[in-house]
Amino acid sequence: MNVYIKNILRFCIIVILQVFILQRITLHWFTEPAGALFIPFIYPLFILLLPFETPVWLLLILGFILGVTVDSFMTTAGMHACATVLIAYLRTNVLNALMPRNLSEYINQQPSIKNMGWMPFLVYSGFLIILHHLVFFTIESWSFVSFGSLMLKVGASFVTSMLFIIVYILLFTRQNVSRA
Amino acid sequence: MRNFILIIRRFFNLILFAGLEILCLVLISHAHNLQGDEIVSSANTAVGILYEKKSDMDKYFGLGRMNDSLLNENMRLRKIVDQYRTVDTLKDMPVRRELATSDTTTHVVKYADYVYRTARVINNSVDGVNNYITINRGTKDGIVKGMSVISGTGLVGRVEYVTAHFASILSILSNKQQVSAKLKDGTFKSTVWDNERPEVFLMKDMPPEAKIKKGDSVFTTSFGNTFPPDVLIGTVNVIEINKKNGKQQLYLKPATNFRSLQYVYVLENLMDAERKQLEEVPVKK
């Protein structure tokens, strides 16, 4: 399938998943029924799964569009966009640090468990996701007053987000794809 | 100037990043300061349309719960309506219960008291000679053998067997039970099922002088002592006149759609035992 159509489709699927399904799942930290409400976020995965050789300016613009789309559904006006643009900017650096060869050598490939192996992929997605959550929840609360509950929120959301991201990858990406 | 352009080209990504982040922060601060933020909110058109479609879809998943709540509301309203329908305005009768009135004279009296219970149909048949409907209420919910069962639109049947959590209703699609029925002008007779289709009931041998039109409603009476009075059984669909003696045979269309029955009300007649006690004594002697 054409790489553009594929990514546009993935954009739609991920936004619909995030906005219509995951947003409805509000989980409670089990010791505090009223406090530390968190939502799993799967939409940063769109940025994570773009092809290796995507230029940084395109990543930034796509991240901004993705963030604003999610923002307009959740009425959070720029909070998601802010966090997503940040991870879109840092994505190339993280990949450069993790991958053995230069990124331009991976033609027509996208980051996946097959290309990178389990551990590097988990480090790559985990680092960017936790950064995204940290920025998002900090902007959301806009203070470090309740630092403990903020960290709890980030941690709990991170665990559930990673769970959903792994499930998404196992479900929706072909594991034995031939290297085109 | 050339150096400036070179710097921009060199740090283009960083500048773009900073610009976008500043744009985000501006959006956030606007949303926090202004009341009606029109740029990025779920009130704008595209998102609004999508949310509308989603809530349309959600509605279907909520239909069951909505139906249940409406059923409970109906039960409550029926109970209230019943209180006013079964008011006896005869004076000075030795009566069971007096209604509280604003003035001191207590001549309005209530008897025949029905308790409504809601139930969901979990098994249903329309093809047998005697058709039974299973509901998810039993003795633990106060269901007793012999209670009459109605649906939102009309008569359904009578409770036949009860276990702790379930009850089996003999529906009026049965040749075991006849329903005492009356027309609007007061002619009463009993209806029977034609044993074939759940859409047809018969009222045989109606007197020739009864003026019956197509579309007339047929109600239950209290004579049969099994069903509450004035529950709709069905409407007259076809009138057949016997040429020999002029008697009319009516084909009724039942008010209840037995094929798609989902919810029923089970009626408990609080005065039933007393009435049976009174009426059965002369028969035994």
The closest CB to that of A78, out of B16, B27, B44, belongs to B27
Instruction: Using pLDDT thresholds of 50, 70 and 90, give the confidence band for residue A178.
Output: very low
**Quick check: B212 and B199 in contact, CB under 8 A?**
no
* B95 — pLDDT class (breaks 50, 70, 90): very low
Q: B26 CB near a chain A CB, below 8 Å?
A: yes
Retrieve residue B37's tokens.
């933020």
- What is the CA angle A7-A137-A31, rounded to 5? 115
Interface size, chain A vs chain B, as Cβ–Cβ contacts under 8 Å: 71
Look at residue B36 in the predicted model and tell me its pLDDT: 46
- B16 and A78 within 8 Å at the Cβ level: the answer is no
Residue percentage of chain A with pLDDT more than 90: 9
- Between CA A80 and CA A66 the distance in angstroms is 8
Given pLDDT bands bounded at 50, 70 and 90, which one contains residue B202?
Answer: confident
Which of B15, B16, B24, B49 to substitute to test the interface with A, most A CBs within 10 Å?
Answer: B24
Query: So where are chain B's domains?
Result: 45-111, 179-257
**pLDDT of B127 over the 80 cut:** no
Coil, strand or helix: which one is B206?
strand
pTM over 0.80: no
Q: Is B144 on the interface with A (CB under 8 A)?
A: no
Q: Confidence class of residue B25 from pLDDT cuts 50, 70 and 90?
A: confident
Asked if B16 and A89 count as a contact pair (C-beta separation under 8 A), the reply is: no
How much is the pLDDT for B206? 83
Extents of the domains making up chain A: 3-25+40-172
Q: How far apart are CA B281 and CA B285, in angstroms?
A: 7
From chain B, the residues in CB contact with A20 under 8 A are 54
Q: Enter the ipTM.
A: 0.75
Lowest mean pLDDT among A62-71, A96-105, B15-24: A96-105
Q: Is B42 an interface residue toward A (CB < 8 Å)? A: yes
| Helix (H) / strand (E) containing A113 | helix A113-116
- For residues B51 and B41, give the distance between their C-alpha atoms in angstroms, rounded to a whole number: 12
CA distance A130 to A136: 10
User: Does B13 contact A79 at a Cβ distance shorter than 8 Å?
Assistant: no
E strand intervals along chain A:
27-28, 37-38
Distance in Å, alpha carbon of B66 to nearest chain A alpha carbon = 20
Kindly report the nearest CA distance between residue B3 and chain A, in angstroms. 21
Of B31, B42, B47, the CB nearest to A78: B31
Is the alpha carbon torsion for A13, A14, A16, A20 positive or negative?
positive
Name the token pair of B252: 């009724």
pLDDT in tens, A115-172: 788 888 889 999 999 999 999 888 877 766 777 777 877 888 888 889 888 888 888 7
pLDDT digits (tens, 9 = 90+) for A58-78: 889 999 999 888 888 776 778
Residues from chain A contacting residue B31 (CB–CB below 8 Å): 76-78
Q: Using a CB–CB cutoff of 8 Å, tell me whether B81 touches chain A.
A: no
- CB within 8 Å: B24 and A67: yes
Query: Are B44 and A72 in contact (CB < 8 Å)?
Result: yes
Closest CA to B187 of B165, B164, B205, B161: B205
Average model confidence (pLDDT) across chain B: 78
Tell me if B165 sits within 8 A of B138, measured CB to CB: yes
pLDDT > 70? residue B180? yes
In CATH terms, is domain B179-257 a member of 2.40.10.350? Answer: yes
For residue A173, give the nearest of A94, A114, A106, A100 by alpha carbon: A114
pLDDT tens sequence across B207-231? 888 888 888 888 888 776 678 888 8
B13 touches chain A (CB under 8 A): yes
Distance from CA of B26 to the nearest CA of A (A): 8
Of B121, B248, B241, B251, nearest to B196 (Cα)?
A: B251
* Structure-token match 């995507």, residue found: A54
Q: Does the distance separating the beta carbons of B21 and A86 come in below 8 Å?
A: yes
Helix boundaries (H) for chain B: 2-10, 12-33, 45-85, 272-284
Secondary structure (DSSP) of A28-39: E-TT-SSS-EE-
* Per-residue pLDDT at B157 exceeds 50: yes
For A133-180, list the strands marked E by DSSP: none
